[in-house]
Structure 1
Amino acid sequence: MTSSPAPGTPGWLALRNDQAALSLLLDEGPLTRNRIGELTGLSKPTAAQIVSRLEEGGFIHAAGELSAGRGPNAVTYDVRLDRSLGVAIDVDESVLRATVVDARGSERPVVIVPIDAAHPRSAEGDVRQAIEAACSAADVDPGAIVEIVIGVQAANDPAADRLNFTDTLDGWPMQNARGELEAGLGIAVTLENDVNLAAIAERADGAGADAPGFALLWLGEGLGLSIDLDGAILHGATGGAGEIGYLPAPRTAMAIDPDADDLQELAGGAAVARSAASALGRRLDYAEALAALVAEPERILPDLAVRIAFALTPVIAVLDPSLVILGGPTGIAGGAALAEAVSAALRASSSWDPDVRTTGAPSDAVLLGARHVLVSRLRARLLPD
């Protein structure tokens, strides 16, 4: 459905009616001709014409029958979701997570593909693996994939097609990554910073759903920040907004960690491990520190909350958000107790007192955000302006 007849013409009106019916079917699921007419406010003959056009165009198909009591059963129609599919991909340092997505956002299996560090990597190789695994798990034809959205641990400058601030994409080109992927795969590609995708998930299904805006602080092996302004993500001029791990640690933080040169060293994964190890009196790696944070929060939270408050202070000073969301592995492990402790640390050290919450989209937040972007893109293919 790509034609664009002149506004006000019969063709334009028919196109708008067809789009309204498709939108209803995407939102409501299978409907009869009569129900389409009722929900659109159109007459039965007009609804019948819409169904005929959409069925002939291959946009919808007969999905079943609905008992109408006396008389023949009514045929229900649904969108041909299998015609245009997408794959959402989260490229982690050690694994690829992927799932097939359709224009309705139907749930499909999430696959995890380990990255083999013993073999050379490439952007196309990684993405092909993810697509093939996701399509196999969902039992769909890879040839139906028309869009992919990829979350990367990098700042993405779409205008220059350049990736910046990353050390986890071995074998990927920093320049023209999207262009190379699209040329090699023959599929539309969107690259997006992983924390920005997690913020999209928070806006759609998480702690930021009802907020006018928020700052999502991603606390994992690395630090990241995403700024939501009433539903729009602030990317910055070159996609680098939110790369706060590179900011120098404040002098006032020397009291708790004199060796931390930047915020990454103050509150990133290695710092969480050091903080937990100091509190518990034994050596821990990051994964062990997260487990300890869940098991013995009262011993670890005091120092950790102060570290995170130091990392948040410059963000709050510049943006003054009403809501701060703590996401990522550390945010999930710390939960509501960590959010409360960080809020208290902020009040103790500054005049700022934003609402601090734990993530509301803790499970595969990056992948969930990529799915939401894909649903929007796939619907736009069916419902062009």
Structure 2
Amino acid sequence: MRAGSPRLLREINDRAAIEALLRNGPLTRSELEGLIGLSKPATAQLLTRLETEGTVLRTGLRGGGRGPRAQLWAVNGALAHVAAVDLTPDAVDVAIADISGALLTEHRAPMPRTGVVEAFRAAVAKAASQAGLTPDALRHVVVGSPGAVDPADGGLDYAPHMPGWEGFDVPGALREALGTGVTVENDVNLVALEEMVAGRAVGVRNFVLVWPADAVGAAVVVNGVLLRGATGGAGEIDAMRVPDPANAETGTGRRGGRYGDLLDNAAVVKLARAHGLSARSGEAAVRKALGAGTPGREFLVDLARRIATGVANVVAVLDPELVLLSGDIAQAGGTALVDLVSAELRTLVVPRTAVRLAMVTGKPVRSGALHSALSVVREEVFGLPAATTEPFGPR
């Protein structure tokens, strides 16, 4: 063997053990031995070495009954901390986690129309303090936001609905305010990442995720990698010009208008009203329609036509394996709405692309941001390969 190869082998085994502990949580020595394929003595030596370095910790015991209880080992979460942020026009939602992925605290604060960077810094600082940290103690912060960061100047483009965030280098300003690494990523891209990690797109190499709502957006994944485009604008379909294929008359331009204008909250409420359904929000209208007999069915068909008209343009160009519908309106409509969109799509394009409901609910933008931040930091601290979906732009 050439010089240095035993050290290289140790590093490879160490990374395999750390990855197994991160993926599975606390493990006994014998469980870890089975996962990484080392002998009992080699696994014991590995754990001793990692414990001496402070990389792993003893954490409780497993078992009982007649036999002895086995020592559990886990990654030392205190090695590094990250923040995941869901930034919207009205609020900033922050989560702090350690490098093991353990969630330490959450904090939500309103977002003003002016002084946005200071308001953002204050929200992250509050969350960090709740975890016993300062902002500059965070190893990395990933922010999910509507719009996309232009790689040329760091500006937040395609985001006219984000008052106060225009005209400056957003990642640079946030890095300076927090004193740590910051990546800003499109919110729908992060939802797609979360679907790849823990949702319907696990193992899917080519797919499109569409979020029909105010400022409708899409994420495009090709060969397992997020496609961002030359200016970060891939998937920004809100301004795409499409006709309104709905049967009900709502005063929209039949010859073509903004795709987003057909699917925002007001437009969906208006479409429901045209079918005799009254609701205060698009989500409520869709839920009401599910139990409203023929009028509800006709409203959902019209809504599906609107969604499918825009999706068809994307499918015709990309021919993906899968289209995922995500967001409140999609979740409210469930498989009933998804099936209608699928049926309409088949009348518009040649590819027979499967349409499914996204699996990840709750706070998918923040969850995707957390996985992205952990990917960055685990590469830096442990040398683990970063996901191919790692956020775009400078850290």
**TM-score by shorter chain over 0.5:** yes
Partner of 1:361: 360
2:15 alignment partner in structure 1: 19
2:146 paired with 1:161:
no
Residue ranges of structure 2 left out of the alignment (5+ in a row): 385-395
2:93 alignment counterpart = 97
- Once the two structures are TM-superposed, the CA of residue 194 in structure 1 deviates from its matched residue by 0.5
Which residue does the alignment assign to 2:228? 235
1-side partners of 2:122 and 2:32: how far apart? 40
Q: Paired residue for 1:133?
A: 127
Q: Please name the residue that 1:3 is paired with.
A: none
- Aligned twin of 1:331: 330
Question: Per the alignment, do residues 39 and 340 of structure 1 end up closer, same or farther by CA in structure 2, a change over 3 Å counting?
Answer: closer
1:78 corresponds to which residue?
A: 74
1:208-223 alignment, distance < 5 Å = 208-223=201-216
Query: Is contact 1:274-1:284 (8 Å) kept?
Result: no
- Indicate yes or no: 2:306 matched with 1:312: no
1:45, distance to aligned residue in structure 2 (A): 4.8
Q: TM-score, normalised by structure 2?
A: 0.83
**Corresponding residue to 1:63 among 59, 63, 70:** 59
**Corresponding pairs, count:** 376
Q: TM-score, normalised by structure 1?
A: 0.85
Q: 1:181 to 1:322 in 2, by over 3 A?
A: same
> What is the CA-CA distance between 1:34 and the residue it aligns to?
5.9
Give the 3-state SS of the residue equivalent to 1:245 in structure 2: coil
C-alpha change, 1:293 and 1:193, in structure 2 (3 Å) is farther
Q: Match of 1:276, SS?
A: helix
**After superposition, what is the alpha-carbon deviation per residue over 1:162-196, rounded to whole angstroms, capped at 9, x for unaligned?**
22010233323543211121122122111110111
Q: Which runs of 5+ in 1 are unaligned?
A: 1-5
Equivalent-residue separation in structure 1 for 2:340 and 2:102 (angstroms):
38
Q: Residue 228 of structure 1 aligns to a residue in which SS?
A: strand
Gap change, CA 1:319 and 1:254, over 3 Å in 2:
farther
The separation in 2 between residues aligned to 1:140 and 1:102, in whole angstroms, is: 12
Indicate how the Cα distance of structure 1 residues 258 and 194 shifts in structure 2: closer, same or farther if over 3 A, else same.
same
Q: Which residue of 2 aligns with 1:248?
A: 241
Distance 1:67 1:350 in 2: 57
* AA partner of residue 230 (structure 2): A
Of 166-175 and 218-227, the range deviating more from structure 2: 166-175
Equivalent residue letter for 2:206: G
Superposed CA deviations along residues 127-165 of structure 1, whole A, max 9, x for unmatched, are 4404523662xx443464211111000112345422201
Shift of 1:251: 7.9
- Give me the whole-angstrom Cα distance separating, in 2, the residues matched to 1:252 and 1:15: 59
Deviations for 1:91-140, whole angstroms, at most 9, x for unmatched residues? Answer: 122222222233333355554323345xx33234314404523662xx44
CA RMSD of aligned residues (A): 3.2
SS at the partner of 1:246?
A: coil
Q: Describe the shift of the 1:327–1:28 C-alpha distance in structure 2 as closer, same or farther (beyond 3 A).
A: closer
Cα shift at 1:338: 0.8
After superposition, give the CA deviation of every residue in 1:46-77 in whole Å (9 maximum; x if it has no partner): 44443333223222223234579999876443
Aligned residue identity for 1:240: G
* Corresponding residue to 1:184 among 177, 192, 195: 177
